[in-house]
Amino acid sequence: MSEHPKTPATPPAAEGHGLEELIALKKAKILELRGRGIDPYPARAVRQHDCASVARVGASLGEPAAHSAEKISIAGRLVELRDMGKSVFGRLADLSGRAQVYFKKDALPEATFSLIKKDIHVGDFLAVSGSVFITKTGEPTIAVESATLLAKAIRPLPEKWHGLSDVEIRYRQRHLDLVINPESRDVFLKRAKIVSTLRRVLDARGYVEVETPVLLGQAGGASARPFHTRHNALDQDMVLRIATELYLKKLVIGGLDRVYEIGRVFRNEGLDTRHNPEFTMLEAYEAYSDYEGMAGLFETFLSECAEACAVKEVEWRGVKISLKPPFRRLYLPEVWKDRCGEPIDNVLEGKGFNRPGLLKLAEKMGVHAGEKTPSAKLFDRILESKIEDLLQQPTFLFDHPTAITPLAKLKPGTQSLVERFECFAAGVEISNAYSELNDPQDQRDRLSEQMKQKEAGDAETDLLDEDFIQAMESGMPPMGGIGVGIERLTMLLAGKDSIRDVILFPTLKREKTS
């Protein structure tokens, strides 16, 4: 059997039949098998090796005609099948890869060979065992001595050679995408490696992994709109968390000096290539550290994750990106003055914004500014328009306005800037970190100002959380904190432009029904 046989992936029974008729034929086949005493869905399966074992055993064979002394027992989905009369070639697939199998009439019981010829189709699950040999084309193959049907597929797989070209179908039917597209499987295996690597790095540094509530009385720790729900037994409205920050800081206050959580957060926002309403965030907090310490930690994160994914550089969003630290460091006040032609202080006033100065600069820079555009959004638009092009290689952008970062510590010598960085690649934010504010009165004042902005119509502001302020008043050590979006990090390391390509089941608009 050649490496890429030009044979259809649909069973012969599919030819000339529509989907509903084909499903009916498959269901009839299942009834027929049961009538013959064959269970199409047995309760047990025998599998002692994975599909990759076939290649490993084959590599030890000296010549094509030789058969291994060791018997190999594998199981998987049948993804290719070619009937050659008195023999049948197939290919089974599992998570480890694919393995060719060879059914020869003279080497099998008549009932087993008949089952393969007449009753088995692509998409079914099989268990087979036998010795390994090398075909004339040089492919390690199992000479099957026994075979068992493990699960009969009713619906056909998509046509193999075209795959799932409809992106919407790939997202809605991820199970088929994973069967047909090896690249999709590779992306999610990379994501799993990234998460396990982050855990390994943090655990090695003495961090404690914790879990904090998802259902809250009010959302805090970020500037975002929450999803609302209702707890019937308590007879009270609740929201889904938008961040894990405040609870994790309470744990540091309580004496857990280094804590982290990797978990889902939920933000009631639009969908685009960078945003999904639910996503996975790593947040980590370390007492007696600061944003410089968090920058070093993030460099370790990215370099270790890149090594785990076996990538040294990646092309992402049209940019060839080197993943080797140390990463470039820029300071927002410096690049703001260079790109905007005036000091950043012209648009800042104390711990807030100088609204007239901001509007004047937006007009000068050609950035759209409506009367009701919140100052924070206007500031971000100017930054994206004039500075984002500097942030193509992994780059830390340090020192952000106090007005948009109410939970971070002031930079010494100024009221207008805080010790915060964002790390970017290809102009996309990958991580966000602070030297965390631990002065409870300053925290109350800043969150109170955020509440005024909310009352003025800005729906995406931080809320004043009295429980958190009270916890701070018990004494909160200085600390550094960092947040890393798992999806953004996976997009970077897998070279994917859309967040939907790195979430197994992304949020989608409900399909219209006829």
The phi, psi pair for 305, rounded to 5°, reads -65, -40
Rounded average pLDDT over 180-206 = 96
pLDDT band for position 405 (50/70/90)? very high
pLDDT of 120 higher than 70: yes
pLDDT band for position 164 (50/70/90)? low
- 357, with CB counted inside 10 A (0-12, 13-18, 19+), is middle
Amino acid identity of 246?
L
pLDDT in tens, 342-362: 999 999 999 999 999 999 999
pLDDT of 6 higher than 50: no
pLDDT band for position 166 (50/70/90)? confident
β 258-266/228-231 pair status:
unpaired
pLDDT at 317: 95
pLDDT at 75: 98
pLDDT of 498 higher than 90: yes
pLDDT at 397: 98
Domains of the chain: residue spans and CATH: 12-162 (2.40.50.140), 180-501 (3.30.930.10)
Residue pair 440/469 in contact (Cβ under 8 Å)? The answer is: yes
Q: How far apart are CA 57 and CA 502, in angstroms?
A: 34
Question: Please, what is the angle between helix 182-204 and helix 291-308, to 10°?
Answer: 140
pLDDT at 514: 54
- % residues pLDDT > 70 (the chain): 94
pTM of structure: 0.90
Lowest-confidence range among 80-94, 417-431, 455-469?
455-469
Higher pLDDT pick, 459 / 155: 155
Which single residue is written with the structure tokens 């009369």? Answer: 85
Rounded to 10 degrees, the C-alpha dihedral 219/223/225/229 comes to: -10
- Our measurement of the distance from residue 423's CA atom to the centroid of its chain's CA atoms, rounded to an integer in Å, reads 18
pLDDT at 387: 97
pLDDT in tens, 229-259: 999 999 999 999 999 999 999 999 999 999 9
